[in-house]
Chains A and B, each alone.
Chain A
């Protein structure tokens, strides 16, 4: 469309007639906003500093957590060292009992095969059954 249209020209020529000083309160409102901006500026910078500090602390915590979790062998080794010897033997005993109970249950369900004549089924106190070779002679 032609920008030189007479109608458009007429508007361009007369648009300055719309210029007008706004109400006097307008300046007061603008000045008030500008003053508030000055007061808010230090508060804004303090809150920015605090949020930056919080972000850094958060990052450090996150990195520490990731490093600790990604290195379980060290942790486990440390835990193992921390466990006293007496608790270790109690734990081993509990595991052995649990395994025996499981094997026993399985044997009751499936039945026990005699196996080779050269082998003898012997039960051992407080441990699981073991197949040991029959002693010759």
Chain B
């Protein structure tokens, strides 16, 4: 089923289209949830909630821009709302660590379990900023708005996350 057919089918509450939507987006979006949320079961719950909202609000998809990007934003928002309830992300950390680009070579082939292990080692604030900046591609100004923190807090959390990541990558012998 094409993406357009899935969208039209979901708008008409067609169960086949809904299943096709799930088959296409559930694996990718589950990956997104796992990056933000440590516990597997919680990540799964948020995935279902996010996909449900995407199907429920499919009429609000204008058709401009990537449909996958639209679904992803809903799922990411779902994760952020969950984290906000659970952890106060707005705690301000105004340290000023120095940042240096990673000069060492990193093995291209990071294993999935190592990526999760690395992310799991980060405190929630670092992990969230890292995901939003590195993977989702948001700017610090946007992250500050989303998480209701200052731009400096977003920057310092990312630098601290990177520092911690490097230490862990060295331990796992990914850095050369």
Residues of A within 8 A of B (CB): 1-3, 5-23, 26-27, 29-31, 33-34, 37-38
Interface residues of B in 28-59 (CB under 8 A from A): 28, 30-31, 34-35, 44, 47-48, 51-52, 55-56
Q: A1-B99, A7-B165, A33-B52 are in contact. Are A27 and B44 (CB under 8 A)?
A: no
Question: Chain A interface mostly helix, strand, loop or mixed?
Answer: helix
User: Judging by beta carbons under 8 Å apart, are A18 and B34 in contact?
Assistant: yes
B105 at interface (Cβ–Cβ under 8 A)?
A: yes
Residues of B within 8 Å of A37, CB to CB, are 56
Separation of A46 and B92 alpha carbons in the complex (Å): 47
Question: Chain B interface mostly helix, strand, loop or mixed?
Answer: helix
B166 at interface (Cβ–Cβ under 8 A)?
A: yes
Chain A residue with minimal CB distance to B162? A7
B116 at interface (Cβ–Cβ under 8 A)?
A: yes
- Chain B interface size, as a band, is 35 or more
Spot the interface stretch: B1-9, B19-27, B79-87.
B19-27
Residues of B within 8 A of A (CB): 13, 15, 18-19, 22, 26-28, 30-31, 34-35, 44, 47-48, 51-52, 55-56, 99, 101-112, 115-116, 133-135, 137, 140, 155, 158-159, 162, 165-166, 169, 174
Q: A22-B30, A34-B52 are in contact. Are A13 and B108 (CB under 8 A)?
A: yes
User: Judging by beta carbons under 8 Å apart, are B27 and A6 in contact?
Assistant: no
User: Judging by beta carbons under 8 Å apart, are B47 and A20 in contact?
Assistant: no
Residues of B within 8 Å of A29, CB to CB, are 48
Q: Which residue of the partner chain, among B13, B19, B26, contacts A38 with CB atoms under 8 Å?
A: B13
